[in-house]
Structure 1
Amino acid sequence: METVYDWITVAIFAGLVVLFLQRSASEQPGDSLVHYLLAGVGLAFVNYLGNEENHLAAVIALVGVLAFIQWTLRPLDSAKS
Structure 2
Amino acid sequence: MQTPYDWITIAIFAGLIVVFLQRSVGDGEPQDSILSYLPPSIGCAVSNYLGNHGYDAFAVIGIVAVLAYSYFVLKPFKRQG
TM superposition score category, shorter chain reference:
over 0.9
Distance 1:12 1:61 in 2: 12
Distance 1:9 1:37 in 2: 14
Does 1:13 pair with 2:13?
yes
Corresponding letter in the other structure for 1:15 = G
Q: What's 2:3 paired with? A: 3
Runs of 4+ in 1 over 6 A off after TM superposition: none
Distance 1:4 1:47 in 2: 9
Distance 2:52 2:39 in 1: 20
Corresponding letter in the other structure for 2:58 = A
Does 1:55 pair with 2:56?
yes
Does 1:65 pair with 2:66?
yes
TM-score, length of structure 1 as denominator length: 0.92
Distance 1:54 1:76 in 2: 31
Structure 2 SS opposite 1:47: helix
Tell me the alpha carbon deviations over residues 43-74 of structure 1, each in whole angstroms, 9 at most, x when there is no partner.
00110110011001111111111101111100
Q: How many residues align?
A: 80
Corresponding letter in the other structure for 1:66 = L
